[in-house]
Structure 1
Amino acid sequence: MKRPLLIRIAKGSITDVKATAIVVTHFQGIEPGGAELAVDDAIGGAITAFTRNKSLAGELGSFFVVPSLTSRLYAQMVVVLGLGTYDIFARRVRQKESEEGGLIRQVGFRLIEGLLGINVTDFSTVLIGGGGGGLNADEAAFLLIQAIGEAISRLDHEGRIHEFTIVEFDEGKIPGILMGYEKAKKNLKDKLDLEKKELTVPSEKKEVSKPQNIIYISLRREGEELFFSVFTDKAQVVMEKKTFSSDTIRGLISELRSYGEKKGTSRDSAHIESEIKNSGGALYGLIFPPGIQNYIRRYHEEYSFIISMERSLVYIPWELLYDRDLGIFLGKLSLGRQIIREESFLKGREPYSEDGEINMLIIANPSGDLDAAKKEEEDLKKLIQNHIPNSRLKVDLWSGLWDGKSKQSLGIIKLLYAGKYEIVHYSGHAFYDEFEPHKSGWFLGENDILRAFEFQNLPRPPVMVFANACESGKGSSKDDIKIREELPYGLADAFIQAGVDIYIGTAWRIGDETAKEFATTVYKKLIVYNKDIGHSISGARGELTKGFTSFSDPGWAGYMLYGTPSFRFLLSG
């Protein structure tokens, strides 16, 4: 006699399901959305918390259990299945791998193995592969039911699991799931006697966080080919590839950097603008496939973008790529950068200040040899006080100055250990260690470097670091040039790894007046008008490019944002 297996196909929210365990999935580097976000809300943000402290990494096949006894769920626990990075997962699923090696099959077996290991036999799951995997509902349901059925047949020798539920919120997908069920039933007829039951999950009104409108554009490089994947809250995955020439790309990037570092006159502005747009437009066309360009044009007004890239691609000035059809640089969009790695998930803290204040520490010219940096410090505080009336942004100035003996880094570390500051603004020299990037940091004086990894040891690292930092070496050798090109990206990566949520840095040395105006405009938009950081930066770029002579000093184009562009501070009052 064949073993019976009841499959419930339920329309509704998985947060309303009554089961011992509910199952959701998690991609590395992607903020919770859809069912995962709803469940995360219901258990008080536990998924986010475990991801932030790296307990939950989301690697493919990982099985992570979160107790939910004190939450708003009926379930006793939440199982989070890791799917790895979304681009690789989607690519491998869509390649129609062999039955024995398919990803959905692997995930199904891992799920049943994990549930049996913790003695759970009653579970409900989302439709795995139907969102980030890019599969139609019937394909995803067929692969999932077949995988779970085979896993139960092979692993559950004691017959403990005799039913499970697939929950889908989108009513339009239910017919596809039913089709997938019928196909799986035929394939499993020699092993299991499948039976289905359709139902609607009674819903209760719950306040659920609104998913952030973010589009992730992932890039991986293989030789002279770039592989693109697009992931959104929509049930679709866009995947394309582009062949490129490294020499041509490098040449155009060098041109853009050279124009960015030039300081011309008002007469030069039109010429520089034309050259930057020509180079940025050519680079955009050479790197981005037409399908990805069209996606950006379609959604640029309602979505923020995160370019999630391999470390080998950080040198590309994404902010200066120019879309001729839109007539804008990508930097005018709400745009952030992310480096692909296991711990690249950055939801971003949203600190709520009971006294309605955000505290900021300005560290400027600690080495004592940059008069312009010291003036930036004084002008920035004055401008914040004058142009941000009744400011909820409270500013402290670091009063130290290198005297040739004492180490300022000790005093700054003591200040930071107090956990008072949400924002640290730095203007001074930078130091980049190309062999051990995490030891990169700020050059405060001879033998005195505040290294990025020291932020990792803080009980409460700053939420945001804004660094107008230039390289301390000014040589012209090939090694010096390489360090100048790599320093901005190495510093950003080092601070992000150390626990800073938002890092704003510069790709090249910015003019003093531009640096001051840009920083002040960003803070005004971020704090006074409560805009998110992506729109604060794009807005600052927009204001600085209004003037006719804006391209005679195109420093506005040199700023980079690492982190989630939709991040904003929460203030009382």
Structure 2
Amino acid sequence: MDNGETGITDVLGAKPAAGNARRSARDPAAPLAEDKDATGPDRTPWLKVSVLWGNLTGVPADVHMTGHYAGVAPTSAEKALDEAISGGGRHIVAERNRRGWIDARLGRITYFPTPSPPPRPAPDGAEGSAEGCAIHAAAVIGMGRMGGFTEQRAVRLYESLLGEVLGAGHMRKVATVLIGSKPGSLKLRQAARALVRGFDAALDSMGAPPGAGAAPPEVVLVEVDRLRAEKIQQALTDFAEKVPRIEVAEHLVVTPARGGTVMRTSAAAFALLELVALTRPDATEEGAAALRTVLGGIEDERLRTGVRAGLTSLAVKGISPAGLSVYTLRMKESESRPPPVNISVLRSDKGLRWAALADRAAIPEREVRVDQDLFLQLVNRLTEPSVDDAEDLPGLLSCLAVPSEFQWLLAQDAPVNLEVDRDTAIVPWEFLSAVQQETESSTPLATRIPISRNLRTEHSSVNITEEHTVGPLRALVIGDPGSSARSAALGGAREEARQVGSTLAAHGLKVRLMVGPPGTKERVKGEEAATRLGVLQALLTQRYHIVHYCGHGTFSPSEASGWIFDDGVLTGQELEQLSRPPRLVVANACYSARVEPPSAKQVLKLADEFLRAGVVHYVGAAWQLRDAQSLVFADAFYEHLFSENTSVGEAVCAARLRTYNKRGRTEDPHSWSAWAAYQHYGDPTDHFLRGTATTA
């Protein structure tokens, strides 16, 4: 059974599921056999496969394709492809993923527009210019929901991928990656075996090899890390050995201009190989001297002898890069954060259903059984909590609601992106704690790493008109539009609005500042009155990249909720016609991030409408705030938002930390837990930089 590597679990995994891509008559789980019609010394391969060490977006091809999990923000190769086809800060794949436009069912392919039709790829073997490597077509192929990608599903994915290429006819060269082989999914050799089987099944449907004189189609698997590239090359060679119609290039393609890198583990592996070579009998005197110098740095004689013996043993076995794995610990002083951990937490009949995709572990779905009434009690006590509850209950939230296998993910120095539905959005997940590492002196998790959300909802519209503008970024800043007749005037909100307006203007944004209701006497030059009609006119008829609101907010499960103005409340109903959503909305007001579960009476909240309209980032508060904490948060957020190499999620995290540190010794619960009230909906790794002005 395929050299003994196919087991009963592989066969069981071949059971078809609803929504899966079509399967050919050949069973992908069956062992690979030689194709009698393609044997012979003069046979022509039906498909060429090569492995290239480099960057996916730097390889010339007719189409560039990566895998895509349902609802998961682009990372790794998918993110690189997204950046290559997007302009400035506007990310096409990420935005369409957020809006639910990508069909992520297994084997379904979604194409994306490229900025302009580039010239054709450079000929094989030619270096090509930067223009020659431009992307003609970009696509992602659905992998289903994260946590359920098996080897047999990978077979069907690859069958669909090649079937699309063969059916299109004009796509002769495809650049992709070994989809499903990253940590968190399949092992590398499992993915390679699935690729060969899937491609073989797709070639079955061709019925005949390419016509005389016709070049077979080519699939280029691109891997940015050298050691992984070597392993992929070896794995494909092994599994394609008995499939003559699939020709795997004999050697790894190494082209300096294609952007390959050497990770720490790769560097260690190749260094070890060189040391092994120096222990062979045929090593030069210079090499032997170099080895003595290296080993001389090991002071312990017993250890030094053991290292030499180990290297000699490896030399006798004749190891190669493809057969070597080296593991290193992540350095805490790393200048950049690791890729985000994408976690889905949705309500189930028995409790909470979790799934996760991380770059460090394969974690299937898990269900946490929890009494709904008991869990709701905990959620209510952590929503606008007392000082005691804010200190005592976060650990219980993590232990009660988070699967034990998932808790260690929260202990990593990585952003956390939570996919929530309307039932789980009401949970103050910002109170999550790293159970395995928490100490009494540590700051809360959400002040150390970015924690953001994505709302999964059928309410989101797909009819969103995107507008491309040229010129400076534009911001609408609204401060304290309510009146003393409704409540006391918010001097802090007016100060915040002016300070935010000044900060944004200093970063090159064109700011429209609306402060105080009509009749306000202390209006500064350049300000205008903040009226409900005026703000609505600005939002519906003009395009603002940033909208910042600071003032009173109101929330009710069954009544109109939103931003308070002198003449009423601006609610979600007024924003139903919003077709040109801002890129970033910061609602620094009480209850501005509250989203009601389906069981509540459906009165759409302002946050719902902004999310429905398609804002890229929404930052709001889940409960009441004090002026002092709101000002601290806003000041820190915008200070970091425009800092070099700082993402929106990191800006929110930094603002939470400063708000947490400024809480003082107060017994006021609103001041004590204000840092946790702030919720961020959006990709925590996305950047909002000045360069987005021409494309937002």
For the aligned pair, the TM-score class normalised by the smaller chain equals 0.7 to 0.9
CA distance in 2, matches of 1:154, 1:352: 47
Asked whether 1:496 is paired with 2:542, we answer no
Instruction: Please tell me the residue identity of whatever aligns with 1:11.
Output: W
TM-superposition CA deviations, 1:28-80 (whole Å, max 9, x none): 44443333333344444499326535695142233234455258453763341
CA distance in 2, matches of 1:230, 1:37: 18
Aligned partner (choices 402, 406, 412) of residue 292 of structure 1: 406
1:2·1:193 contact (CA, 8 Å) conserved in 2? Answer: no
Q: Secondary structure at the match of 2:52?
A: strand
Aligned partner (choices 157, 172, 179) of residue 121 of structure 1: 172
Aligned residue in 1 for 2:140: 81
2:226·2:260 contact (CA, 8 Å) conserved in 1? Answer: no
CA distance in 2, matches of 1:422, 1:387: 12
Asked whether 1:69 is paired with 2:118, we answer yes
CA distance in 2, matches of 1:21, 1:365: 52
CA distance in 2, matches of 1:389, 1:490: 30
Aligned residue in 1 for 2:363: 238
Calculate percent identity across the aligned residue pairs.
Answer: 20
Aligned partner (choices 536, 539, 551) of residue 427 of structure 1: 551
2:500·2:635 contact (CA, 8 Å) conserved in 1? Answer: yes
Instruction: Please tell me the residue identity of whatever aligns with 2:95.
Output: R
Aligned residue in 2 for 1:2: 37
Aligned partner (choices 362, 377, 381) of residue 478 of structure 2: 362
* Larger RCO (CA within 8 A; separation ≥ 6): 1
Instruction: Please tell me the residue identity of whatever aligns with 1:277.
Output: E
Aligned partner (choices 90, 93, 110) of residue 149 of structure 2: 93
1:306 deviates by: 1.5
Stretches of structure 1 that go unaligned for 5 or more consecutive residues are 97-101, 261-271, 472-477
Aligned partner (choices 239, 256, 272) of residue 203 of structure 1: 256
1:363·1:377 contact (CA, 8 Å) conserved in 2? Answer: yes
1:141 deviates by: 0.7
1:389 deviates by: 11
1 or 2, which has the higher strand percentage?
1
CA distance in 2, matches of 1:500, 1:254: 28
CA distance in 2, matches of 1:412, 1:389: 19
1:338·1:344 contact (CA, 8 Å) conserved in 2? Answer: no
Aligned partner (choices 218, 221, 241) of residue 166 of structure 1: 221
Asked whether 1:313 is paired with 2:424, we answer yes
TM-superposition CA deviations, 1:528-553 (whole Å, max 9, x none): 89954434433333334435424533
Alignment of 1:51-450 (within 5 A): 52=95, 57-60=102-105, 61-65=107-111, 66=113, 69=118, 72=131, 74=133, 77-84=136-143, 88-89=145-146, 91-94=147-150, 102-119=152-169, 120-131=171-182, 134-155=185-206, 157=208, 159=210, 161=216, 163-178=218-233, 180-181=235-236, 184-185=239-240, 188=243, 192=245, 194=247, 196-204=249-257, 213-232=339-358, 234=359, 236-239=361-364, 241=366, 242-257=368-383, 259-260=385-386, 272-273=387-388, 275-299=389-413, 303-323=414-434, 325-326=437-438, 327-333=442-448, 334-340=450-456, 359-366=475-482, 369-372=485-488, 374-381=490-497, 394=511, 396-398=513-515, 400=517, 408-416=531-539, 417-420=541-544, 422-430=546-554, 441-442=562-563, 444=565, 449-450=570-571
Instruction: Please tell me the residue identity of whatever aligns with 2:55.
Output: S
CA distance in 2, matches of 1:240, 1:361: 43
Rate the CA distance shift 1:290–1:277 in 2: closer, same or farther, 3 A.
farther
TM-superposition CA deviations, 1:120-174 (whole Å, max 9, x none): 2332331111127611111101001210111121246564745433332323234
Q: Under a length normalisation based on structure 2, what TM-score does the superposition of the two structures give?
A: 0.64
Instruction: Please tell me the residue identity of whatever aligns with 1:254.
Output: N
Q: Secondary structure at the match of 1:198?
A: coil
2:633·2:659 contact (CA, 8 Å) conserved in 1? Answer: yes
Instruction: Please tell me the residue identity of whatever aligns with 2:228.
Output: K
Q: Under a length normalisation based on structure 1, what TM-score does the superposition of the two structures give?
A: 0.76
Asked whether 1:49 is paired with 2:92, we answer yes
Aligned residue in 2 for 1:12: 54
TM-superposition CA deviations, 1:321-377 (whole Å, max 9, x none): 3446333323323221112369899xxx9x99976x763421534476443454343
Q: CA RMSD in A?
A: 4.4
Aligned partner (choices 5, 8, 26) of residue 68 of structure 2: 26
Aligned residue in 2 for 1:474: none
1:21 deviates by: 2.9
1:409·1:450 contact (CA, 8 Å) conserved in 2? Answer: no
Q: Secondary structure at the match of 2:624?
A: coil
CA distance in 1, matches of 2:557, 2:191: 47
1:561 deviates by: 1.6
2:483·2:517 contact (CA, 8 Å) conserved in 1? Answer: no
Rate the CA distance shift 1:527–1:49 in 2: closer, same or farther, 3 A.
closer
CA distance in 2, matches of 1:330, 1:238: 21
1:368·1:401 contact (CA, 8 Å) conserved in 2? Answer: no
Rate the CA distance shift 1:408–1:386 in 2: closer, same or farther, 3 A.
closer
Aligned residue in 2 for 1:265: none
CA distance in 1, matches of 2:364, 2:614: 31
1:219·1:228 contact (CA, 8 Å) conserved in 2? Answer: yes
1:455·1:499 contact (CA, 8 Å) conserved in 2? Answer: no
Aligned residue in 1 for 2:682: 563
CA distance in 2, matches of 1:84, 1:118: 21
1:10·1:168 contact (CA, 8 Å) conserved in 2? Answer: yes
Q: Secondary structure at the match of 1:292?
A: helix
Rate the CA distance shift 1:255–1:430 in 2: closer, same or farther, 3 A.
closer
CA distance in 1, matches of 2:240, 2:141: 27
TM-superposition CA deviations, 1:261-318 (whole Å, max 9, x none): xxxxxxxxxxx34x3222111111112233332222232xxx3222222332111111
1:220·1:310 contact (CA, 8 Å) conserved in 2? Answer: yes
CA distance in 1, matches of 2:167, 2:254: 28
Q: Which moved more, 1:385-394 or 1:180-189?
A: 385-394
1:560 deviates by: 1.4
Q: Secondary structure at the match of 1:165?
A: strand
CA distance in 1, matches of 2:91, 2:158: 24
Q: Secondary structure at the match of 1:197?
A: coil
Rate the CA distance shift 1:442–1:304 in 2: closer, same or farther, 3 A.
same
2:621·2:678 contact (CA, 8 Å) conserved in 1? Answer: yes
Stretches of structure 2 that go unaligned for 5 or more consecutive residues are 1-35, 39-44, 120-129, 262-335, 520-529, 692-696
Count of residue pairs brought into register by the alignment:
523
CA distance in 2, matches of 1:36, 1:156: 33
Rate the CA distance shift 1:365–1:41 in 2: closer, same or farther, 3 A.
closer
Q: Which moved more, 1:411-420 or 1:525-534?
A: 525-534
Q: Secondary structure at the match of 2:186?
A: coil
Instruction: Please tell me the residue identity of whatever aligns with 1:8.
Output: S
Q: Secondary structure at the match of 1:226?
A: strand
Rate the CA distance shift 1:395–1:372 in 2: closer, same or farther, 3 A.
farther
CA distance in 2, matches of 1:16, 1:382: 45
Rate the CA distance shift 1:464–1:203 in 2: closer, same or farther, 3 A.
farther
Rate the CA distance shift 1:37–1:517 in 2: closer, same or farther, 3 A.
closer
